[in-house]
Amino acid sequence: MQLIADQQFLDQIQDIRDKVFRITKRILVSQEEAEDATQEVIIKLWNLGHEKRNGFKSIEAYSVTMAKNHCLDRLKSKQAQVLTFDEAIAVPKTVSLQKEIEATDDLNWVTHLINQLPEKERMIIQLREIEHYDFDQIASILEIPEGTVRVYLSRTRKKLRNQFLEIQKHGL
Amino acid sequence: MDSNKIKLLLTKYLEGSTSLSEEETLRLYFKTTENIPSEWEGYRMFFGYFDLAKTERYPKGRGKQKFGFRPWMAVAAIIAVIFSIQFYSSQHPTLSPDQKEAQLAFMQFKSNMMKVSSHFNKGAEKVAYLDYWNSTTQKLIK
């Protein structure tokens, strides 16, 4: 009986694990850290036990919220490292960036633009544009009002568009 | 798709007020329409990136991996055991009783010779002293 429950968990978890991985990677940026964070989230889910897991309205929403909290805690607890991480992605928009953009393909360039956003905006982009969540789902995951989600999303979309236009003007 | 409608949707999109299905319309438009106004190229790029980003998966090599037993592993283990026995016995040859006796005799002979040589050295030291005495007496004679 336990074995069947375990197998169910593994099947159920596949999609969730991929989602959690994408979201943790968006927040933490580093591939390895995202892998570790994903494993920790999965282990926490596992430790909840079969009964409790099935009691949730949506195990996916619960997992994603857990992933988000885990990542934010991680960023907070490693202030020093967060600093270097911010430095690493905040490349000044100078000639060197222009060269870098030309050297890399479009997708790397989009990754770069998104990764330099503040983490809240990165999360919003991930949840809406990539995972296609409803506004109320995003609101409950991020624990902010729906109106705020829309404001953040609008601001982030405009920001990305303007950055694109600016670079396009300089001839990409 | 009418580009005026797209323009309207894009305005809504920037305001954060498009629904998921309207965003799907935009996604499809940029994916399937070849000629679009150049100022929209950025949208095409972003939507393309979002599509691709959704396909990213948790790496396969990670996590719990079951260690499967394969028949060739048994064969490899047997071969390894045979070779290690052979190697061991080639490094430590077993001796027959005669050889053991010969080895013992050799060891005794060797220790005897060591004793002899140490006594011989003592003798040599004395001879050296004698030599010194000789040279000093000769100086006196002169």
Residues A171 and A160: beta-carbon distance below 8 Å: no
A:62-101 residues touching chain B, CB 8 A cutoff: none
Tell me if B56 and A150 make a contact (CB, 8 A cut-off): no
Can you give the pLDDT at residue A95?
47
Establish if A17 touches chain B: CB-CB under 8 angstroms.
yes
Can you give the pLDDT at residue A122?
94
Tell me if A164 and B53 make a contact (CB, 8 A cut-off): no
Task: Give per-residue pLDDT as tens, A35-89.
Answer: 999 999 999 998 988 888 888 888 899 999 999 999 999 988 875 454 555 555 5
User: What's the CA gap between A34 and A126, in Å, rounded?
Assistant: 14
**Closest Cα in chain B, distance from residue A144 (Å):** 16
Return the H-helix or E-strand segment holding A132. none
User: What's the CA gap between A128 and A148, in Å, rounded?
Assistant: 14
Establish if A139 touches chain B: CB-CB under 8 angstroms.
no
Residue B69 or residue A56, greater confidence = A56
Can you give the pLDDT at residue A92?
46
Residue with token string 């050296």: B128
Could you give the count of Cα atoms lying within 13 Å of A134 in the half-sphere of its Cβ?
4
Residue B65 or residue A136, greater confidence = A136
Residue A153 or residue B138, greater confidence = A153
Tell me if A132 and B20 make a contact (CB, 8 A cut-off): yes
Residues of A in contact with B15 (CB under 8 A): 154
**Nearest CA to B11 among B116, A98, A115, B22?**
B22
For the segment B11-21, the average pLDDT, to the nearest whole number, is 96
Per-chain mean pLDDT for chain A: 83
Establish if B21 touches chain A: CB-CB under 8 angstroms.
no
Establish if B39 touches chain A: CB-CB under 8 angstroms.
yes
Q: Is A57 helix (H, G, I), strand (E, B) or coil?
A: coil
Secondary structure (H, E, C), chain B: CCHHHHHHHHHHHHCCCCCHHHHHHHHHHHHHCCCCCHHHHHHHHHHHHHHHHHCCCCCCCCCCCCCCCCHHHHHHHHHHHHHHHHHHHHHCCCCCHHHHHHHHHHHHHHHHHHHHHHHHHHHHHHHHHHHHHHHHHHHHHC
Can you give the pLDDT at residue B69?
67
Partner residue facing A107 (CB), from B13, B52, B63: B52
Residues near A15 by beta carbon (within 8 Å), at least 6 away in sequence: A60
Task: Give per-residue pLDDT as tens, B22-62.
Answer: 999 999 999 999 899 988 988 999 999 999 999 999 987 75
Tell me if A107 and B49 make a contact (CB, 8 A cut-off): yes
Tally A–B CB contacts below 8 A: 69
Q: Residues, chain B, total?
A: 142
**Nearest CA to B26 among B36, B38, B13, B41?**
B13
Residue B139 or residue B85, greater confidence = B85
Copy the structure tokens of residue B93: 């040859």
Where does residue B18 rank: exposed (0-12), middle (13-18), buried (19+ CB within 10 A)?
buried
Could you give the count of Cα atoms lying within 13 Å of B65 in the half-sphere of its Cβ?
8
Residues of B in contact with A161 (CB under 8 A): 14, 42-43
Residues A55 and A38: beta-carbon distance below 8 Å: no
Residues A10 and A57: beta-carbon distance below 8 Å: no
User: What's the CA gap between B79 and A151, in Å, rounded?
Assistant: 69
Q: Give the model's confidence band at A117: pLDDT under 50 very low, under 70 low, under 90 confident, else very high.
A: very high
Residues A127 and A141: beta-carbon distance below 8 Å: yes
Return the H-helix or E-strand segment holding A122. helix A119-125
Establish if B13 touches chain A: CB-CB under 8 angstroms.
yes
Tell me if A168 and B45 make a contact (CB, 8 A cut-off): no
